[in-house]
């Protein structure tokens, strides 16, 4: 689907640049955007590498398991049907990466957790309650320090790139609470005869 969207956008751009007799500006803009995109991705890859390393150290040192035991009452409320401690640990790594603003790093853990949840769900065509809750929380997770957004704002010349920290925490809390309420509502509605 994304291929069609990108192809359509390029086609529209070429079409209007030909109509306006400005094909050279389109080509210049396309080449400049490609260069800026590469620089941007290289800048973000450093942040991702650091977070992947930190999370791997936390996993190997047992910090993730210790955190899992501390938050187990909350985990049992959010995921009452989940019993596999390894899956819970991977979900926690994803949540921790999201909380500390390294959403790109969280993707690796999220995919691994979802893969394990899919196995536990016997590859059903219908997502389990645990899968739905995990996805909802990942999409709405609070970020204490949105590192990626601060980096983007800084690169684009913001004078106060960290000014979004408090608003993002407030919005993250609201969206997380709304996600949990929605998931729990549909879990209960589905379990009633």
What pLDDT, on a 0 to 100 scale, did the predictor assign at position 179? 93
Task: Give the C-alpha separation, 3 to 116, whole Å.
Answer: 29
Task: Say if CB 68 and CB 88 are below 8 A apart.
Answer: yes
Write phi, then psi, for 100 (nearest 5 degrees): -90, 15
Task: Give the C-alpha separation, 176 to 48, whole Å.
Answer: 24
What pLDDT, on a 0 to 100 scale, did the predictor assign at position 7? 87
> Reduced to 3 states, what is the DSSP secondary structure of residue 193?
coil
What pLDDT, on a 0 to 100 scale, did the predictor assign at position 180? 94
Name the residue among 90, 89, 54, 56 with its Cα closest to residue 72.
89
DSSP state of 163: G
What pLDDT, on a 0 to 100 scale, did the predictor assign at position 43? 72
Task: Give the C-alpha separation, 27 to 173, whole Å.
Answer: 43
What pLDDT, on a 0 to 100 scale, did the predictor assign at position 119? 93
> Which segments of the chain have a pLDDT < 70?
47-48, 51, 101-105, 192-193
Task: Give the C-alpha separation, 55 to 52, whole Å.
Answer: 5
Provide the 10 A C-beta neighbour count for residue 13.
14
What pLDDT, on a 0 to 100 scale, did the predictor assign at position 102? 66
Using alpha carbons only, give the angle 38, 41, 42 rounded to the nearest 5 degrees. Answer: 85
What pLDDT, on a 0 to 100 scale, did the predictor assign at position 140? 87
What pLDDT, on a 0 to 100 scale, did the predictor assign at position 114? 93
Task: Give the C-alpha separation, 89 to 83, whole Å.
Answer: 11
What pLDDT, on a 0 to 100 scale, did the predictor assign at position 132? 93
């Amino acid at each position: 689907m994304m291929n069609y969207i990108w192809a359509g956008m390029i086609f529209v751009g070429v079409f209007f640049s030909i109509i306006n007799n400005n094909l050279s500006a389109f080509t210049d803009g396309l080449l400049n955007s490609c260069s800026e995109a590469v620089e941007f991705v290289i800048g973000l890859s450093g942040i991702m590498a650091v977070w992947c390393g930190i999370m791997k150290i936390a996993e190997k040192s047992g910090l993730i398991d210790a955190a899992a035991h501390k938050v187990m009452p909350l985990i049992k409320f959010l995921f009452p049907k989940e019993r596999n401690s390894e899956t819970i640990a991977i979900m926690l790594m994803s949540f921790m990466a999201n909380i500390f603003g390294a959403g790109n790093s969280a993707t690796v853990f999220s995919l691994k957790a979802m893969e394990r949840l899919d196995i536990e769900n016997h590859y059903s065509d219908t997502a389990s309650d645990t899968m739905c809750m995990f996805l909802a929380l990942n999409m709405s997770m609070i970020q204490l320090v949105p590192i990626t957004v601060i980096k983007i704002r800084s690169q684009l010349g913001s004078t106060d790139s960290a000014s979004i920290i408090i608003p993002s925490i407030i919005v993250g809390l609201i969206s997380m609470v709304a996600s949990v309420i929605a998931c729990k509502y549909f879990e209960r509605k589905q379990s009633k005869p």
